[in-house]
Each structure stands twice: as structure tokens, then as C-alpha cells.
């Protein structure tokens, strides 16, 4: 335990704490005036931060290699839950993504993200030299397409795309060639007409609004336009905590989840928004470093899968807030109001800490770009023999 404490990575912990703190701060300004106690989303967020931090501590002190034993049952169980929610889940805002049991809300797709990362890491690590084969590539894609398809029909396009992003990150670190990406890209192009036909009306409207928000300024393009106004009105230093017409007068909707970055930009300005992006950059860079320094392939793939999940979600959310990405309903990790997503993300960060704590010891390096040489050595290192 002493060794694990010594190896706790502040480059992971500090950005994570800073981001959840910023989220609680912004959420404290977006609630209704009459909300008090547990009715206020900032208080609820604080409760789930505490639960998530407890989950992170458990995962950090647990040897991540023990996840090998639960990878298959977790994946099967998660798949069953994701399938069941389509039939038995509670519908809200045109989607059926949750189980509601009293005060407890369970969103299986969030749990499934981490279960899929663990199972795919196990699968790739066991392939050994065969990890670069087309057969392994296609089977790994099938593993991720199963939950992605089930999530898509809920409907939840954003979360479905997260599974694809995780797969891309993990297979390329595993050694897939660049042209291997042409396979899923070709499949996506071939499936696009069918996906467009079967997509929900709101999905098509959001895509059109992304291309031209002014085409439907009071409908699909409304939030996009209001988010741009919110961020632009923040200027360099922002209008102050709890200030700003777009967020406080509720011109900007979905302020606590999809568009919390726009609220932050209005209240804390360019400097505050840049600070959030910087913390995400540090967190993601350190996750990649942990992947490079991992003692085995399983840890390497786990870390890069978590990094891929965090990168895609943060990039798409911030991108849709500034009009560079279509609105997909993806929340901003660690900041947006969430129950399952927040706890799962913090648990994933705990796994990163565990991988870092159990890494192979390396001599201290003085160079600030030591990880570049690590990448080169990793690329030159002979591949490990296949595991039975």
C-alpha cells in the first residue's frame, strides 16, 4: 500500500479534481432558485463525486490485472443490461436509456463503456503476435459493434460513437496498420444511407443544423446558436460566477449536461475555458504516458482505451459547444451533471492509477520529453509471444 501511495500520479489526480470542482461550481449557478438540499443538482453532483472518488480509490488500490477474471462476465452482463433497457427501460425525452428504481437511476450504456474497454483489452492482450491480423481486427470490431448497435437503437448516437472511438484507439495501439481503418470507414460509408433512413428525426435535424444552424434557429439550431452567443459573451475573463444572460435567463437550454461548457465560457471567459481544456490535455497526456509505461499489454490497452473514451467525449462535447461538431448528446466528462457517467469516469481514472502503481520500475529521467524515447523503445521492442 505504501508503494501504491508513492506512485499515485498527481498529473492524473490534480486535473481530475480540478475538473469535478469546476463542474460543481458551474452547476451551483444553473439550478432553479427554489431548489435546496438534495434537490439541487450541484449537491447531487457532489454526492456522486464522493461515490465516484470511493470507486476510484478501490480501483487504484486493486491490482488492475485482476480485471482479467471479470472481463467476460462483465461484458456479457453489460450487454444484457443494454439490451434489456431497450425493452424494459424508462423512457424520457424520446429515448429509452435508463432503469429507474426509486431514487436510483441506472444507465447501462455508461457502465458498458468500461466493461467493453476491459474485455477488449483482455482480448487484444491474449492475441499476442496475432493481434495485427485482419481476423483479430474484425473480431475486435464485432465485439464493440454489439454494444454500439444496442445503444444506437435506444436511441443514443453519441454513446454509440464512443464505442467506435474506443475501438480505434485500442487497435491502433495494438499495432493495426493505417489502412486497416479503411475497413470500418468503408463499412460506415456503405451503411450511411441505411443509417440515415432509420435514424430518428431529431438526429437528421441535428446534422442539418450543424451544417447551417440558422436554417432552424428556433428548433434544431437553437441550442447551437445560443451556445455560441454564451461563449462569445464571456470575453476574456467572463461575466462572473452566476452572471450572464444566456445561462441565468435560461436562453441556453440543457445547461447542466450537453452545454455546460458554454455556461462555463460565459461565466469564466476564454481564460476559464482554456483552463478546462488544459486540464483535459494534461489528463489525457498522462493517460497515454501510463499506457506507454504499463508493465504488460493488458494494462497498455486498458489505459489507451480509457484515454480514447475521455478524448472523444471531451473533444465532441467542446466541439459541439463551439459549433465545430454536430450535437450528439455527449456530455463533458467530470463536468457535466451525471450519475452513472461521473462514477464510471472516476472509476476509470482509478484504473489508470492502478496501472501506474504497478508499472515496471524505470530509472529517473531528467529530460522533459522522456516519453518520446519510451515510444520509440516500445515500437522497437519484440512482440510478446502469444498467450494460451
Contact (Cβ atoms closer than 8 angstroms) between residue 301 and residue 121:
yes
The 10s digit of each residue's pLDDT in 61-71 is 999 999 999 99
Q: Check whether 282 has a pLDDT greater than 50.
A: yes
**Higher-scoring residue by pLDDT: 1, 188:** 188
Average pLDDT over residues 192-216: 71
Q: Check whether 371 has a pLDDT greater than 50.
A: no
Task: Give the mean pLDDT of the chain.
Answer: 84
Query: Which residues are CB-neighbours of 37 under 8 A, at least 6 positions away?
Result: 43
Portion of the chain with pLDDT greater than 90, in percent: 51
3-class SS at 326? coil
Q: Check whether 379 has a pLDDT greater than 60.
A: no
Contact (Cβ atoms closer than 8 angstroms) between residue 29 and residue 241:
yes
Q: DSSP E strands: which ranges in 178-248?
A: none
The 10s digit of each residue's pLDDT in 150-186 is 998 888 888 999 999 999 999 988 887 776 667 767 7
pLDDT of residue 365: 36
CA 343 – CA 296 distance, rounded (Å) = 26
pTM: 0.87
- Could you tell me the pLDDT band of residue 303, with boundaries at 50, 70 and 90? very high
**Higher-scoring residue by pLDDT: 316, 254:** 316
Contact (Cβ atoms closer than 8 angstroms) between residue 88 and residue 99:
yes
Q: At what angle do helices 297-321 and 340-357 cross, to 10 degrees?
A: 140
Q: Which of 229, 161, 223 is nearest to 195 (CA)?
A: 161
Query: Which residues are CB-neighbours of 169 under 8 A, at least 6 positions away?
Result: 304, 305, 307, 308, 311
The 10s digit of each residue's pLDDT in 73-102 is 999 999 999 999 988 877 776 677 878 877
Contact (Cβ atoms closer than 8 angstroms) between residue 203 and residue 326:
no
Q: DSSP E strands: which ranges in the chain?
A: 90-92, 95-101, 104-106
CA 339 – CA 330 distance, rounded (Å) = 14
DSSP annotation string for 18-59: HHHHHHHHHHTTTS-TT--GGGSHHHHHHHHHHHHHHHHHHH
CA 354 – CA 23 distance, rounded (Å) = 25
**Higher-scoring residue by pLDDT: 303, 158:** 303
Amino acid at each position: 500500500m505504501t508503494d501504491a501511495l508513492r506512485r499515485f500520479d498527481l498529473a492524473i489526480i490534480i486535473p481530475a479534481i480540478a475538473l469535478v470542482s469546476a463542474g460543481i461550481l458551474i452547476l451551483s449557478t444553473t439550478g432553479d432558485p427554489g431548489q435546496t438540499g438534495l434537490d439541487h443538482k450541484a449537491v447531487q453532483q457532489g454526492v456522486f463525486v464522493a461515490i465516484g472518488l470511493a470507486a476510484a480509490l478501490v480501483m487504484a488500490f486493486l491490482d488492475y490485472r485482476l480485471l482479467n477474471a471479470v472481463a467476460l462476465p462483465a461484458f456479457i452482463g453489460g450487454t444484457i443490461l443494454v439490451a434489456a433497457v431497450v425493452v424494459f427501460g424508462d423512457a424520457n425525452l424520446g429515448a429509452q436509456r435508463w432503469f429507474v428504481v426509486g431514487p436510483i437511476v441506472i444507465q447501462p450504456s455508461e457502465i458498458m463503456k468500461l466493461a467493453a474497454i476491459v474485455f477488449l483489452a483482455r482480448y487484444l492482450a491474449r492475441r499476442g503476435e496475432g493481434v495485427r491480423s485482419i481476423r483479430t481486427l474484425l473480431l475486435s470490431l464485432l465485439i464493440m459493434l454489439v454494444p454500439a448497435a444496442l445503444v444506437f437503437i435506444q436511441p443514443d448516437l453519441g454513446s454509440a460513437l464512443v464505442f467506435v472511438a474506443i475501438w480505434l484507439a485500442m487497435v491502433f495501439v495494438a499495432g493495426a496498420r493505417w489502412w486497416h481503418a479503411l475497413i470500418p470507414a468503408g463499412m460506415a460509408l456503405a451503411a450511411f444511407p441505411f443509417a440515415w433512413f432509420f435514424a430518428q428525426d431529431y438526429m437528421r435535424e441535428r446534422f442539418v443544423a450543424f451544417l447551417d444552424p440558422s436554417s432552424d434557429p428556433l428548433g434544431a439550431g437553437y441550442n447551437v446558436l445560443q451556445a455560441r452567443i454564451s461563449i462569445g459573451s464571456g470575453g476574456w475573463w467572463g461575466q462572473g460566477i452566476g452572471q450572464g444572460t444566456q445561462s441565468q435567463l435560461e436562453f441556453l437550454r440543457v445547461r447542466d449536461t450537453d452545454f455546460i461548457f458554454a455556461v462555463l465560457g460565459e461565466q469564466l471567459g476564454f481564460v476559464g475555458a482554456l483552463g478546462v481544456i488544459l486540464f483535459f490535455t494534461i489528463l489525457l497526456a498522462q493517460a497515454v504516458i501510463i499506457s506507454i509505461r504499463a508493465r504488460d499489454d493488458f494494462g497498455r490497452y486498458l489505459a489507451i482505451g480509457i484515454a480514447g473514451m475521455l478524448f472523444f467525449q471531451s473533444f465532441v462535447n467542446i466541439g459541439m459547444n463551439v459549433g465545430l461538431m454536430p450535437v450528439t448528446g455527449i456530455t463533458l466528462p467530470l463536468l457535466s451533471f451525471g450519475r452513472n457517467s461521473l462514477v464510471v469516469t472516476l472509476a476509470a481514472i482509478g484504473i489508470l492509477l492502478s496501472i501506474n502503481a504497478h508499472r515496471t520500475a524505470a530509472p529517473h529521467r531528467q529530460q522533459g520529453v522522456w516519453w518520446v524515447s519510451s515510444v520509440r523503445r516500445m515500437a522497437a521492442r519484440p512482440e510478446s509471444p502469444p498467450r494460451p
